[in-house]
Amino acid sequence: MKEKIDRVLDTVKEPETGLTMAQLGFVERVRYNEEKKKLMVFSCNLKPNHKYCCTVIQGLLISGTINSLTEAFQKEFPDLAVEVV
């Protein structure tokens, strides 16, 4: 399982920088609940900038990155529910 998690983190890239989730340290930890067949992916706590236009753009980038990460984990672990928080 660790190899699959590492593969996802080495594959998914942040769109602005092109760096992988592993390079950015975007994921703090991953927990697996065998009973619920659920993988919980905890991302670092990113808080948008206080300027409104920057907040909207940054929010979209974070949202897109989380969606890409969720899709990649779901592809790698098709039998598990995946939640990125």
Average confidence (pLDDT) over 32-39:
96
Query: Which helix H or strand E contains 83, and what residues bound it?
Result: strand 81-84
| Cβ-based burial of 39 (10 A; exposed 0-12, middle 13-18, buried ≥19) | buried
5: nearest Cα among 28, 34, 35: 28
Residue 83 to residue 85: CA distance in whole angstroms = 6
Domain extents in the chain: 2-84
Summarize pLDDT for 45-83 with one digit per residue, the tens.
655 555 555 555 566 567 788 899 999 999 999 999 999
- How far from chain centre, in Å, is Cα 23? 12
Instruction: Look at domain 2-84 and name its CATH class.
Output: alpha beta
